[in-house]
Structure 1
């Protein structure tokens, strides 16, 4: 009974491995060791597994592709025949596919072309805008204004408008000129002599805009008999120089000329 069980175990193991059992050694008597067919069928799954592995290769027009590493050839199995294809590195560049690189180049080209078109359009818009905002001939004609010197009495101030800003013109007296030249330059915040601010001593031409915050000073006022800014209390002397208050600079001198008894500003 023990021998029969051992033989069955051996047959079972051999059947699972898909090999034929080794011939049994004679043990001195002749009798048959029967093994039932159903038992062998249950313990023989190997042929079924082999059939499952081989079956896809025999299917008509079937393909199994094995992709190797980047630098190794690729084997394609189709209809039972193998073909060696070029390595994938032929189609790869810098870690990306050839098609990706080509698409990227096309995208860059389109972006560059679009940027160029935008730049040209922006240039045209800017040129048209500047042309629209450019001053017309009649406006340019008003860029210069003039006044007759004879129309301004001695010791009086005249206020004109030039480029949207007030301009002060004073016909100074001899006393005004003497007072302007008597000032010690070292005491001035913005050091300018009276000679530097006028072309002729009798005529003082300057912008009527306070250098502090842009207010319009009042003439013949202030502690120095010149101009006074009521906004924040800046005092200017008879030469338009800052003497007291928050203004940092003297009143600005515009470009002007004295031509044939006329004062031409601009």
Structure 2
């Protein structure tokens, strides 16, 4: 018999945003994070657009929106939690090369200090926007290392049907956290390699650290001996107080988190 459990339905689950506005939109779900009684649903990347047929005038869809380096109003990752809409602004390296004062002010207003000179962007709520996740619990089967490795080496693994579950204890709040995520790609050792391994990657997951919910890049490595190693990279920013031109993006803030991790498939 194989091991089974329940997990949020990332295959068929979805989020509906703008429930009480003129325009609504539906997106799929990339990852789900539960923390105590709270549940957060990470949706898809969004870019600002005009709704072409919403009004009588002809606004176009993208043509009247500024085409510049990404700032908070233009591109974001969306999150649904407790009926409300949240987002992570997506800030690129080009944004800082332009020394965009609006971006710098935004980071100072919404950033959370980590250490002396680091800060990261937490979830920011969109006032007045509503959101609802339709994501039931569904039976899943936990996959053993050998099973996933065999599918990889036989070239028959269907990446869109493999998911990752990671559970850990958030020390700041002494709270159990569970992350459920789709996979972007999986590294694996060829048969000629003596040390057998798997390493799954997902570039868009939710992560809770020091009581703050953040957007992270996740990597989960496994070997045939039953060992695992989990890392998260959190978008952080160098920040020198009082210097408007001294904020730079830095991806070197890595968290190595101990916990229970496994691949799974929906039944």
TM-score under structure 2 normalisation?
A: 0.21
- Larger-gyration structure (1/2): 1
Indicate the structure with greater helix content.
1
Indicate the structure with greater strand content.
2
If asked which structure has higher relative contact order (CA below 8 Å, sep 6+), I would say 2
TM-score under structure 1 normalisation?
A: 0.21
